[in-house]
Every structure is written in structure tokens, then in C-alpha cells.
């Protein structure tokens, strides 16, 4: 069994009837791929994209990526497949090739970008990831600079005002449109075909995924956290490798249900 039993209250089999029709929502970094030293250094196992494509078919199309990455990045890394996706922590949502919603590029983003690039240029190991609608400051290669980087991000976010929120993550902080969240994205997707009426399952690994777990819990779905760390997810899977095994096995059998994760 790849699901780690924790102190969590429920046995997954009590709440996950085998025959449920699920809608599957998957985070990307730390979930479909292992965390890498830099954003560009991630490696997706070559079997995963075709497996997701076959799972999508077996789920009647109800499979979407819910990521902090831009949708264009997800398309690139999963090519030739193009999945439904919520990118940039929910600031972009695409279903069946159509953009359902996309936040505008915040006015003050250009000035913020300049400040962050200036900081990165004078601090070795700091990386700025400019995603236009949001921007991330990474310190994974310079962990001793975490406090300084976070303070800068808090100041920049405060200066930008209520239209922007600070999203912390694994060795990263990001400026994100305030109205966007993974929870909001999942709720929006669950109102659209082919997701509506299904039981949501969301799998993620990071702070940004907590909003998604909350939404899925409220919808009576299954929330699954990859790895350890505090979470409101009801269940855990040990690692991206363990998840990959579950997904590839389900794809091989042409069937994915909530009990595939137990
Ligand atoms: O919601 P996700 O799909 O998990 O995306 C969250 C952020 O992931 C990326 O950063 C993280 O992964 C990098 C590569 O493994 C790692 O170097 C970095 O330390 C992590 O924070 C991505 O670069 C961000 O844009 C995403 O928002």
C-alpha cells in the first residue's frame, strides 16, 4: 500500500466508496515531479504524461492540473497533451481549451519585478521567476538568505496593496493576484462539465495546496498530501514516486477511483 497511514482519523475505505466517479486535480511541483534545485531543472518521467492522458479518458475528461506554474509551462512539459489546468495558483483557468478566467497583469508588477531582479543580481543563489501575472523569488540555492528574501517580498507585497497577496511555498515566496487561490480554482472547475457532479480528489504537497485541500474537504472530496508537513489534507502519499506508481497502475488498468489511493 502506498498510502501512508497517519494519525488522521478516518480509514480511507470508510469514506471512499470504490465506485465513486471522481474528478482528479493534480498539483505539479513536488507531486508529479520531485522538487529540483531550480524551477527549470524539473524532470517529468516520460511515462507520466501518456498515463495522465489515458486516465483523463477513463475519467470522462475530469482531470486537471492545479499548479503555481503558468498553464503554458504545463503545456510545454506535458506535450503533446494539453490538459485542463488552473495555473498561477488559480489566476488562470483553462477548460477544454477555453480560458475560463485569467487575472490581469497587476499594475504595480513591473516595479516589483525591478526590485526583485535588483535583489537577485546582488545576492548569489537568488532566482527571480517572472510569470507576468505573478512573480516568484526563490532561495533554494541560498537558504541563508531566506529571512532577507521574505522580508523583501513582504515589503513589496505591502507596497502593492490589497490587489496582491503573498504566497509562500517551498524555498519561495510569490506575489499573486489576491483573488486567486487553488481552492477557488477547484470550486470553479467543479461547476463546469465534466467535473460537476463528481467527487473531487486533489493531490498536492505545499502550502499553496492547502486552499485546495480545504475546498475539496468542504465538497466532500478526498484531499491527499504528498510527503510530510502540517496539512489539512485528510490523507497522505509518501512521495511523487509513490503517486506515480498509483497513476501508472491505474492507467494500465484503465480505471481510477478514490480507492486507487488506498
Ligand atoms: O503548485 P505547484 O505546481 O507545486 O508549483 C509551485 C511552485 O513550484 C515551483 O517552485 C518549486 O519547485 C521548484 C522546482 O522543483 C523548486 O526549485 C522551488 O524551490 C519550489 O518552490 C515553481 O518554480 C513555481 O513557479 C511554482 O509556483
Asked if pLDDT for residue 142 goes beyond 60, the answer is yes
d(CA 137, CA 152): 10
Residue 166 alpha carbon to ligand 1 centre in Å: 15
- With a 6 Å cutoff on the Cβ, whether 28 touches ligand 1 is yes
Q: Specify the ligand 1 atom closest to the Cα of 182.
A: 1
CA atoms within 13 A on the CB side of 94: 16
pLDDT at residue 103, rounded to an integer? 81
- Per-residue pLDDT tens over the stretch 91-100: 999 999 998 8
- With a 6 Å cutoff on the Cβ, whether 146 touches ligand 1 is no
Residue 253 alpha carbon to ligand 1 centre in Å: 31
Q: What ipTM describes this predicted complex? A: 0.99
From the list 124, 69, 62, 112, the residue with the least C-alpha distance to 91 is: 69
pLDDT at residue 9, rounded to an integer? 40
Q: What percent of the chain has pLDDT over 90?
A: 87
Asked if pLDDT for residue 155 goes beyond 50, the answer is yes
* CATH 3.30.70.1020 location in the chain: 109-177
pLDDT at residue 20, rounded to an integer? 65
Asked if pLDDT for residue 11 goes beyond 60, the answer is no
Asked if pLDDT for residue 162 goes beyond 70, the answer is yes
Judge contact between 167 and 150, C-beta under 8 A.
no
Asked if pLDDT for residue 213 goes beyond 60, the answer is yes
**Span 125-144, average pLDDT:** 97
- Per-residue pLDDT tens over the stretch 50-65: 999 999 999 999 999 9
d(CA 112, CA 198): 40
Q: Specify the ligand 1 atom closest to the Cα of 172.
A: 21
d(CA 27, CA 20): 21
Asked if pLDDT for residue 30 goes beyond 90, the answer is yes
pLDDT at residue 16, rounded to an integer? 43
Give 207's contacts (C-beta < 8 A, 6+ positions apart).
167, 168, 169, 170
* CATH 3.40.50.1000 location in the chain: 3-102+180-261
Residue 249 alpha carbon to ligand 1 centre in Å: 26
**CA triple 40-156-88, angle to 5 deg:** 40
Architecture of domain 3-102+180-261: 3-Layer(aba) Sandwich (3.40)
Nearest CA, atom 13, ligand 1: 39
pTM of the model: 0.92
**Span 147-170, average pLDDT:** 97
Mean pLDDT of the chain: 92
- With a 6 Å cutoff on the Cβ, whether 35 touches ligand 1 is yes
Query: Which pLDDT band holds residue 10 (cuts at 50, 70, 90)?
Result: very low
pLDDT at residue 8, rounded to an integer? 40
- With a 6 Å cutoff on the Cβ, whether 113 touches ligand 1 is no
27 labelled catalytic: yes
Asked if pLDDT for residue 261 goes beyond 80, the answer is yes
Candidate CATH numbers 3.90.1150.10, 3.40.1180.10, 3.40.50.1110, 3.30.70.1020; the one for domain 109-177:
3.30.70.1020
Amino acid at each position: 500500500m502506498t498510502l501512508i497511514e497517519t494519525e488522521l482519523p478516518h480509514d480511507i475505505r470508510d469514506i471512499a466508496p470504490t465506485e465513486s466517479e471522481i474528478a482528479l486535480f493534480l498539483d505539479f511541483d513536488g507531486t508529479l515531479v520531485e522538487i529540483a534545485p531550480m524551477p527549470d531543472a524539473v524532470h517529468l518521467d516520460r511515462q507520466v504524461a501518456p498515463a495522465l492522458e489515458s486516465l483523463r479518458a477513463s475519467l470522462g475528461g475530469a482531470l486537471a492540473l492545479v499548479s503555481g506554474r503558468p498553464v503554458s509551462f504545463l503545456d510545454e512539459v506535458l506535450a503533446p497533451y494539453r490538459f485542463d489546468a488552473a495555473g498561477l495558483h488559480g489566476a488562470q483557468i483553462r477548460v477544454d481549451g477555453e480560458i475560463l478566467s485569467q487575472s490581469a497583469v497587476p499594475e504595480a508588477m513591473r516595479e516589483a519585478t525591478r526590485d526583485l531582479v535588483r535583489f537577485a543580481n546582488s545576492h548569489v543563489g537568488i532566482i527571480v521567476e517572472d510569470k507576468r501575472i505573478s512573480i516568484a523569488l526563490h532561495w533554494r540555492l541560498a537558504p541563508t538568505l531566506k529571512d532577507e528574501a521574505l522580508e523583501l517580498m513582504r515589503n513589496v507585497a505591502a507596497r502593492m496593496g490589497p490587489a496582491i497577496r503573498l504566497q509562500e511555498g517551498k524555498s519561495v515566496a510569490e506575489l499573486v493576484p489576491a483573488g486567486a487561490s487553488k481552492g477557488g480554482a477547484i470550486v470553479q472547475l467543479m461547476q463546469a462539465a465534466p467535473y460537476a457532479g463528481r467527487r473531487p480528489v486533489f493531490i498536492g504537497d505545499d502550502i499553496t495546496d492547502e486552499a485546495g485541500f480545504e475546498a475539496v474537504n468542504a465538497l466532500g472530496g478526498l484531499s491527499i498530501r504528498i510527503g510530510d508537513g502540517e496539512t489539512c489534507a485528510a490523507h497522505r502519499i509518501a512521495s511523487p514516486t509513490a503517486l506515480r506508481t498509483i497513476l501508472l497502475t491505474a492507467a494500465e488498468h484503465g480505471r481510477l477511483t478514490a480507492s486507487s489511493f488506498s
